[in-house]
Amino acid sequence: MTIAIYLEYKSDVALYRRLSDALRKAILEGRLKLGQSMPSIRELSESIKLSRSTILKAYADLQNQGLVVALSGSGTFVSTTLPGDLSELIGSALSSPSDRSGSFNEATLSERGQTLVKVGRKQTNEHVHVPAIEYGGTPIELSPMRDWKTLLIKHCNVSSEERVAEMIEPLGLPRLREAIAAYVLRRRSIASGAQNVCIFGSKQLRLELIGRLLLDAEDVVAYEEPGYPENRHTLESMGATIAPIEIDSEGLSMSALQALPSPPKLIYISPSHQDPLGYVMSMRRRHELLDYAATTGAFIIEDDFDNEFRYGKPILPSLKAIDPYDCVIYIASFWKVLYQSLRLSYAVFPDCLVNIGALGKGYLERHLPLVEQLALTDFINDGFMEKHVKCTQRVLEVRRQALILAITRYLKNLIGPLTDGGGTHLILNFNPGITSSLIERTARESGFTLMSTRPYYMNETADGQFIVPFARVDKYTINDTVSRFADLLQKALWSSSDDN
């Protein structure tokens, strides 16, 4: 046990007394808790370089004051009850003055600090409104936890010096980068090779790195509208101006992009499955976008967040795979496939950003969790990943069908046509005149899980637009739930029209 002790220098006070005062202070400050064992005499004498007899004397002194008790055969302990008024003093010495927080002045932050805090607060507030339904994740019962655990434990058991050397690579464990390069080649036809792959310990760091390297304050970022709020916030927190670009059924609207007063430095899109609307960007649009990026010098961030799940539709090659101009940064992660708290994610850089990307990565994050990286390498290389995706997709397909069936049966009159898409959720557009608050309240009462797309929009919100996740839908009860929801909603609508 280590304990910080500062002995004040006073020539007229005996050393043991100075020590017992210091220990007394430690007890009163709450650094040594009531009932906790005191450091052993041998240990203390080693760490503070005083002779054992001095410490013995100091302990005896404390015992006389009633602050510690010595139990023969087990050691010395801080008393559980302190004599007199002392117990009221405990902890008071360490607590910091509380009036400080009130005196905090925003102006002490730098300008970019203020932007950062402002955006951070906005995000925190939005998170409060979003019900904690984890609309994207794989259903828990399908999580490949057994295989994953086996791999984790296997790698806890092997640790060699050679792996330590691998760990200092800021771009990530080399063998995991190779595994991911092979994986994106197999699944998404991206032929960049392992040297372009960069592993991140947290999924927010991907956009943090890209944004920090390429964006100054006031630079323009074209961001799909609606689009994933978290990534938008990260870019916004660097002071960038976000230009929302609307989405049509072919993907990002090119005319809106070309109408921007100044060309963007970054374009953020999710082409394989637009988040949240679910559109797939057409092949023609993809080429147009690439040409646009090439002429303006912009970089495209392709967020391939849930490419794994699609139903019946052929998968288009990723934007990165057809990019002749070296301008696409591909980002993806595994948490949707594996489990929520696995936060390893990755980016595939274009060749021109590999060097500066490595520099920036080393600056932001140099070391990643070793065991999880090793386990993930095996998970991909031994085929668990694809096996698991296939098996999950089969289950999701059934749940999706059950949900669509229930919705078309009971909600047909209340919503617009369903859009098709992959991923793990559906989008419902309720008829105009049904307010969002009514829908949310009814959903809560009937136990139907849905979530407004409000946070996804920067400007005006499409009212009555909701995300319905189906990854955790129970195919046997969903019918009842939706019918209950439809009944309640219908009743509420009738009663409100009666009032009018």
Q: Which of residues 172-191 bind another protein (CB under 8 A)?
A: 185-187, 189, 191
Scanning residues 25 to 84, which ones bind another protein (CB under 8 A)? 26, 29-33, 43, 46-49
Ramachandran assignment for 297, one of left (phi > 0), alpha (psi -120 to 50 degrees), beta (any other): left
Residues 185-224 as x/- pattern, contact with another protein by CB under 8 A? xxx-x-x---------xxxxx--x---xxxxx--x-----
| Three-state helix/strand/coil letters over 199-266 | EECCCHHHHHHHHHHHCCCCCEEEEEECCCHHHHHHHHCCCCEEEEEEEECCEECHHHHHCCCCCCCE
Site for another protein in 424-453 (CB under 8 A): none
Q: Name the residue among 403, 413, 408 with its Cα closest to residue 494.
A: 413
Least distance between another protein and beta carbon 253 (Å): 25
Which is closer to another protein, CB of 233 or CB of 285? 233
Which one, 277 or 348, has the nearer CB to another protein? 348
Does 2 bind another protein (CB under 8 A)? Our answer is yes
CB-CB contact of 373 with 344 (8 Å): yes
Which residue type does 2 have? Answer: T
Q: Least distance in Å: CB of 26 to another protein?
A: 8
CA distance 475 to 406: 10
Query: Distance between CA 208 and CA 200 in Å, rounded?
Result: 11
- Using CB under 8 A as the binding rule, the residues of this chain from 387 to 426 that contact another protein are 387, 390
Query: Which of 83, 113, 416, 447 lies at the binding interface for another protein (CB under 8 A)?
Result: 113
368 touches another protein by CB under 8 A = yes
CA distance linking residue 278 with residue 292, whole number of Å: 23
Our finding on whether 131 is near another protein (CB under 8 A) is: no
> Among residues 134 and 445, whose Cβ is nearest to another protein?
134
Footprint on residues 287-346 left by another protein (CB under 8 A)? 294, 297, 317, 321-327, 339-343
Instruction: Find the part of the chain contacting another protein (CB under 8 A) among 112-120, 411-419, 437-445, 452-460.
Output: 112-120
Only one of the segments 51-59, 61-69, 121-129, 470-478 lies at the binding site for another protein (rule: CB under 8 A); that segment is 121-129
The distance of closest approach from Cβ of residue 43 to another protein in the complex, given in angstroms and rounded to an integer, is 7
Q: Which residues of 208-217 are buried (b: 16+ CB within 10 A; e: fewer)?
A: bbbbebbbee
Say if CB 442 and CB 492 are below 8 A apart. Answer: yes
Residue 457 binding another protein, by CB under 8 A: no
Q: One-letter amino acid identity for 376?
A: L
Q: Is 97 in the site for another protein (CB under 8 A)?
A: yes
Q: Which residues inside 224-283 make contact with another protein, applying CB under 8 A?
A: 233-234, 237, 265
Phi, psi of 217 (to 5 degrees): -60, 145
Taking the complex as a whole, the smallest distance from the CB of residue 427 to another protein amounts, in Å, to: 25
In the chain, the amino acid numbered 444 is R
Number of residues that bind another protein (CB under 8 A): 126
The span from the CA of 125 to the CA of 163, in Å, is 42
